[in-house]
Chain A
Amino acid sequence: MTPIIEARGLSKKFVKRLDLAGKIAQRLGADIHEEIVHAVDNVSLSINAGEVVGLVGESGCGKSTLGRIIAGILPQTAGTVLVDGKDTADMNSTDRTAAALAVQMIFQDPFASLNPRMRVEQIIGEAPLVHGLTDRAGLSDYVDDVMMKVGLDPLLKQRYPHQFSGGQRQRIGIGRALAVKPRFLVCDEAIAALDVSIQAQVLNLFMDLREQFELTYLFISHDLSVVEHIADRIVIMYLGRVVEAADTEALFDDPQHPYTRALLAEIPRLDQRKRDFTPIAGEIPSPLNPPSGCHFHPRCPYVMPVCKTEVPKLAAQHDLRQVSCHLDNSTRRIID
Chain B
Amino acid sequence: MTVISVEGLKTHFLTRAGVVRAVDGVSFSLDRGEVMGLVGESGSGKSVTGFSIIGLVDAPGKIVDGSIFFHGDDLSKLSARQMQALRGSRIAMIFQDPMMTLNPVLRIDTQMIEAIRAHEKVSRKEAWTRARDGLAQVGIPSPEQRLRAYPHQLSGGMRQRVAIAIAFLNNPDLLIADEPTTALDVTIQAQIVHVAQKLCRERGTALIWITHDLAVVAGLADRIAVMYAGRIVEAGDTDDVIDHPRHPYTVGLLGSVPSANQRGQRLTQIPGMTPNMLALPEGCAFRDRCTHSDNQCSKAPQVSTDERGHAIRCFHPQYVKTPA
Contact = CB atoms under 8 A, between A and B. Distances in A.
B186 A224 contact: yes
A273 interface: yes
Contacts of B218: 268-273
Interface residues of B, number: 49
Given A224-B186, A277-B190, A278-B194, A269 B259 contact: yes
A167 B273 contact: yes
Interface in B236-254: 238-239, 242, 252-254
B238 A248 contact: no
Contact of A195 (B212, B238, B263): B212
Contacts of A226: 258
Interface in A212-238: 222-226, 228-230
B56 interface: no
A200 B186 contact: no
A268 B213 contact: yes
A58 interface: yes
Interface string A249-274: 10000000000001100111111111
B259 A229 contact: yes
B111 interface: no
Nearest to B193: A277
B269 A279 contact: no
Interface residues of A, number: 45
Given A201-B269, A263-B187, A271-B324, A229 B261 contact: yes
Contact of A228 (B187, B222, B252, B263): B263
A203 to B, nearest CB: 6
A272 to B, nearest CB: 5
A225 B274 contact: no
A199 B215 CA distance: 15
A193 B252 CA distance: 19
B215 A270 contact: yes
Given A225-B258, A229-B259, A266-B187, A283 B219 contact: no
A31 interface: no
Nearest to A200: B256
B186 A266 contact: yes
Contacts of A222: 185-186
A306 interface: no
B278 interface: no
Given A201-B269, A279-B187, A228 B219 contact: no
Interface in A273-298: 273-280, 283-284
Contacts of A113: none
Contacts of A168: 273
Contacts of A279: 187-188, 190-191, 194
7 closest pairs, A vs B, by CB?
A: A200-B256, A229-B258, A279-B190, A268-B215, A277-B194, A58-B185, A266-B190
Given A278-B190, A279-B194, 9 more contacts: A58-B188, A196-B253, A204-B269, A224-B186, A229-B259, A230-B264, A263-B187, A266-B190, A277-B197
24 contacts: A168-B273, A196-B41, A196-B212, A198-B41, A200-B255, A204-B267, A204-B269, A207-B264, A207-B266, A223-B186, A225-B259, A229-B267, A267-B186, A271-B324, A273-B238, A273-B239, A275-B219, A276-B194, A277-B194, A277-B197, A278-B194, A279-B188, A280-B187, A280-B190
